[in-house]
Amino acid sequence: MIEDKDRKADPNWAWAVYEPDARRPWTGTLAAHLYRRAGFGANWQQLQQAVAEGPQATVSHLLAPGSDVEAFDRTYDGYEGGVGSVNGLRAWWLRRMIETPHPLQEKMTLFWHGHFATNGAALKQTRLMREHLQLLRRHALGSFAFLLQALARDPALLLWLGADANRKAAPNENFARPLMETFTLGPGHFSDDDVREAARAFAGWFVLRDRLRYLPREHDAGTKHILGQAGEFTGEDVIRIVLEQPATPRTLVRKLYRWFICETDEPGEDLTAPLAESLAADYSISAVVETILRSNLFFSSYAYRQRVKSPVEFAVGVIHALEGMVSTTQLGRDVAGLGQDLGHPPTVKGWPDGRYWIDSIMLTRRHNLAWALLQGGDPYGDKLDSWKVAQRHGYADAESAAQFLLELFLQDDLDPDVREMLRRNVREDAHTDSAAALDRLTYAAVTLPEYHLA
């Protein structure tokens, strides 16, 4: 772990590329940290490869994993084609997260789903939600400007916001307001007048019979005054104008900081300024994400375990690490019960994060989900097997398999007393049934406080 507490505030140090040295060595602990943030945790092969290749090569690989991504996405797009409900899409998405060759893309799709939080319950056609999620995925690491322009024309988002009818005579603020308040500028950077004027600019756009339509006679061709600019603006101009405001990249960078680095501490303006400048230049999402993932700050104690895993990260992480696949229909329900119902965020502000996920009832349910996944009976069946995974990677006896699992799930970074206890228990139980003893070890490991942190 890099202990450079006093240096955090120094942007030059913070965003410089992390170079391992004797004082700050590259270890499995940091490799797993990278995979937790840039994906849904590492499995053993990913962990080993990352340790061997070093941080920068691993980040490069995470950003551009190679050509099989397209084939994978095509196959899954095909699977999702016949799905008739948002909960069906939820199941396929969770399966994608578990199997994807491009975890960062899915992680960012999840980020944008929380940012442009669209609730599919409002939609009559599943197709709209499917296309919405595919849109988020396509631009997840691309240009935020493109993404925003596309979403301003996305029937799913407009229907959910109640912005499906924009008449000249009655400008609809239901898109303009969240556009400024939630999607770009953030509160305090615009006035009610800006919202009203922007709504006029969107007049003419409708969603009719689940398709986007432009009705020229409903467009308001008059002059609008938006954020200090005046002109006969259209909706596209509004998007351009909000993207020109310095508040937009700053707000987005703060959110990405919280997502990738730390949610216990708000960064100072100076610290995030270089990233905001980079984003303002071309709105390239991947450029900012790349800077973050390669940085000293990302690999420092300021970031390490300074996020709470969301329910999706928690559940997908366990299954991905154990190299298995379970019923994602059931998993979707259980993860919804933990407070994160994919496809149904509670409000347009997305999901809560951090400490909000950790509540007595939700912790009890995380325990119960881990138990359900590992105990071998209904509803998940005997699909995850800790012992087999350990053997597959060459850990042939229970004792070494126990060590393997603690490495896999916690990189052995846990309270030494607890570790001793866990291993002693495996030793004591293994002679009767190694497989059960090791599944219990996994169960204990993934319900430790440390495992709930990302």
The whole-angstrom separation of Cα 178 and Cα 159 is 13
Per CB under 8 A, the list member of 74, 364, 394, 400 interacting with another protein is 364
Least distance (Å) between residue 127 CB and another protein = 10
Query: Which listed residue (13, 72, 79, 146) binds another protein by CB under 8 A?
Result: 79
> Which is closer to another protein, CB of 214 or CB of 244?
214
DSSP-assigned beta bridge partners for residue 212: 207
Decide if residue 146 touches another protein (CB under 8 A).
no
Task: Tell me the β-bridge partners of 205.
Answer: 214
Contact indicator for 90, 332 with CB cutoff of 8 Å: yes
Q: Is 391 in the site for another protein (CB under 8 A)?
A: no
Structure tokens at 102: 């491009």
Rule CB under 8 A: is residue 212 a binding residue for another protein?
Answer: no
Residue 444 contacts by C-beta under 8 Å, 6 or more apart in sequence? 422
The continuous run of DSSP H or E covering 213 comes out as: strand 211-214
Q: Is 214 in the site for another protein (CB under 8 A)?
A: no
Work out whether 232 is an interface residue with another protein (CB under 8 A).
no
The radius of gyration computed from the CA coordinates of the chain, to the nearest angstrom, equals 23
To another protein, the closest distance from the beta carbon of 230 in angstroms equals 30
Please state, as a whole number, how many other Cβ atoms lie within 10 Å of the Cβ of residue 409. Answer: 24
Cβ 94 vs Cβ 335: under 8 Å:
yes
CA 381, 386, 388: angle at the middle one, nearest 5? 95
326 binds another protein (CB under 8 A): yes
In the complex, least distance from residue 172 CB atom to another protein, rounded to whole angstroms: 10
* Smallest separation, CB 77 to another protein (Å): 12
Polymer length of the chain: 454
Is 449 an interacting residue with respect to another protein (CB under 8 A)? yes
Copy the structure tokens of residue 262.
């730390």
Asked if 365 interacts with another protein (CB under 8 A), we say: yes
Q: Is 431 near another protein (CB under 8 A)?
A: no
Q: Which one, 41 or 249, has the nearer CB to another protein?
A: 41
Is 309 in contact with 353 (CB distance < 8 Å)? no
Tokens of 33: 């940290």
Residue count at the site for another protein (CB under 8 A)? 81
The 10 Å Cβ neighbour count of residue 423 is 16
Between residue 257 and residue 316, which ones bind another protein under the rule CB under 8 A? Answer: 264, 305-306, 308
Nearer to another protein, 231 or 346 (CB): 346
Nearest-approach distance from CB 126 to another protein, in angstroms: 11
Does 101 contact another protein by CB under 8 A? Answer: no
CB of 414 to another protein, least distance (A): 8
Interface with another protein, residue 410, by CB under 8 A: no
The Cα–Cα gap between 158 and 175 comes to 7
Instruction: Determine which residue in the list 23, 188, 377, 431 makes contact with another protein, applying CB under 8 A.
Output: 377
Residue 187 binds to another protein (criterion: CB under 8 A)? no
Q: Which amino acid is at 26?
A: W
By CB under 8 A, the residues from 4 to 63 that bind another protein are: none
Report the 10 Å Cβ neighbour count for 123. 19
- Least Å from the CB of residue 176 to another protein: 14
Compare residues 133 and 444 and give the one whose CB is closer to another protein. 444
Contact stretch for another protein (CB under 8 A) within 44-52, 64-72, 82-90, 221-229: 82-90
Q: Does 450 interact with another protein (rule: CB under 8 A)? A: yes
Burial class (CB in 10 A: 0-12, 13-18, 19+), 364: exposed
